[in-house]
Structure 1
């Protein structure tokens, strides 16, 4: 039971808390983006090294790709706002089975910068969503309200440095927008969805979506995920699938491994990535003056607490620090004792 309570509290701090958490909140593994920010003054780096093999039937080509992935996240100005940089730099060796000469390509396949802002958080009220530490069943049963997601909006831009062979004809800067949602299906299961519109205004604008399901094991330091991504543009369209596992080494360090691929043959893709996430935690809780606090903040005393305290006071004969006078029961006893005393005085014989 004690072990279960520790797991419940740990998961609650990761999943149910809005914005800043005591442990690192990484977007890895996978490519989906959480609805929540890392927290004000938190600097976080998410790094990956990958290998991919592609076979293209129509082009009669085989490609071997080595890539490095980097995401830098910073909690900017306040808890709900995050500045994000995402980049993937890769080297691709292409071999043709026909008479075409082999090629070598090195450039960014992803290079973008943007801001993400949380516009709605269903877990804003911690009292409503805190775990029941006395009931395993209550914490693990399905609740419809858990489907209500946190929602964030993202606005940024994709950058092409020079003549990028992956995005020929695109401008140097093209806008990008995204909607990110996150639902806590159960204490151990989180569902994330992203819908993005990229390279706006270019010759080949791109729609994409990602749906991701993450499950934490009984040992909450381990988790597994399943992810599906769809991409649609006149330049390239595909459906990608990913799965992988992550391990939390400390509250500021996480490692992960991902495998994935596609089923189409133009091209067929198979890939794997090793990743590491680390945060530099400079977060400080904001101190709110008592006269500016809203109801429920910093431990508001509820009506139930007052009733409980009153019952205890009756048993103990009144409050300890403040003299509230006798209770009704005590007052009746005092009155009865006073009447007895008067009666005794009136009927007494004076020798």
Structure 2
């Protein structure tokens, strides 16, 4: 029943995506957790960051954890329109309360929860040579038929590495401080709707690798305001979960976006909730417009 209940929530991430590799307005991955297929554009340096706070309550262990943290990403389009290098990470402060011998005890943990540097490359773009679907003057029925070509997504590949330094309490016992991660990223643009899928392998080669799928749907109501819903499934021997996120983003300026979002999961080991808010800002040194020909296949 969990999976049906989850998919009733719409799902997915993003921001204001236009029909081009380089866009005149900022194209942020916030406030969701998935990456879009497209890079920010050659010569574009983009910063995406936000704060979060929430609570994890573990029914079996009897623990209650209050947390706050900062999530950040630095993205840079380099060499080609299709290529992006990025740094993504988070800093997390946790305070966990539990009962020992009839009295309450609280332990705190504070460190970088994640850090990863990676490269993303757009390997296939169905919109680059899109041809406008012209109306059939002789058949009303032909004009009303579903265009199956719109189901073909843009596809990117991501490869990166997790890294940690010092005695990091967020590493499980025996986990190495460096480990590879990889992802397949797809993106469909359907007018005001954008659908993104990320299939991710994380901490590969470690004793407890993590595999996850993120499904993000974004709807732009106008050129400035959008909302998203997202579902993430996580599979690992250390931690598995089903997580739903939703929120809004507002474009104040072509180079500045603000966002707000929330998170809930579907189990009680632990039961989780979080709220978050953030900003995305870019320095646009793109010298040559390289808009892709995005014929509308309607």
TM-score range, shorter chain: 0.7 to 0.9
More helix by share: 1
Query: What SS does the aligned partner of 1:27 have?
Result: coil
The 1-side partners of 2:134 and 2:180 are apart by: 41
TM-score (norm 2): 0.85
| Partner Cα separation in structure 1 for residue 164 and residue 281 of structure 2 | 27
Structure 1: 4+ residue segments shifted above 4 A: 129-132
The 8 Å contact of residues 89 and 107 in structure 1, kept in 2 or not, is answered as yes
Q: Secondary structure at the match of 2:127?
A: coil
Does structure 2 conserve the Cα–Cα contact (< 8 Å) formed by 1:56 and 1:267? Answer: yes
Aligned pairs for 1:1-351 (under 5 A) are: 14-17=17-20, 19-99=21-101, 101-125=105-129, 128-129=131-132, 143-168=147-172, 169-184=174-189, 186-217=190-221, 219-285=222-288
In the superposition, relative to structure 1, how do residues 104 and 142 fare at CA in structure 2: closer, same or farther (>3 Å)?
farther
2:150 is paired with a residue whose SS is helix
TM-score by length of 1: 0.72
- CA change 1:114–1:129 in 2 (3 A) is farther
Aligned-CA RMSD value: 2.3
Question: Separation in 2 of the partners of 1:64 and 1:232?
Answer: 24
Equivalent residues of 2:22, 2:289 under 8 A apart: no
Determine which structure has the larger strand proportion and give its number.
2
Cα deviation digits, residues 9-57 of structure 1 (max 9, x gap): xxxx93321x210000000111010000001010000011000111001
User: Conserved in 1, the CA contact under 8 Å of 2:56 and 2:64?
Assistant: yes
- The alignment of Structure 1 onto Structure 2 pairs a total of residues equal to 267
Deviation (angstroms), 1:141 = 9.4
Q: Which structure 2 residue ranges, 5 or more long, are not aligned?
A: 1-15, 136-143, 294-298
Structure 1 unaligned segments of length 5 or more: list them: 1-12, 133-139, 288-295, 298-351
Aligned equivalents of 1:144 and 1:67: distance in 2? 43
In structure 2, C-alpha distance between the alignment counterparts of 1:211 and 1:286, rounded to whole Å:
30
Alignment check: 8 A CA contact 2:99 2:105 kept: no
Offset, 1:142: 5.9
**1:152, 1:129 → 2: CA distance?**
24
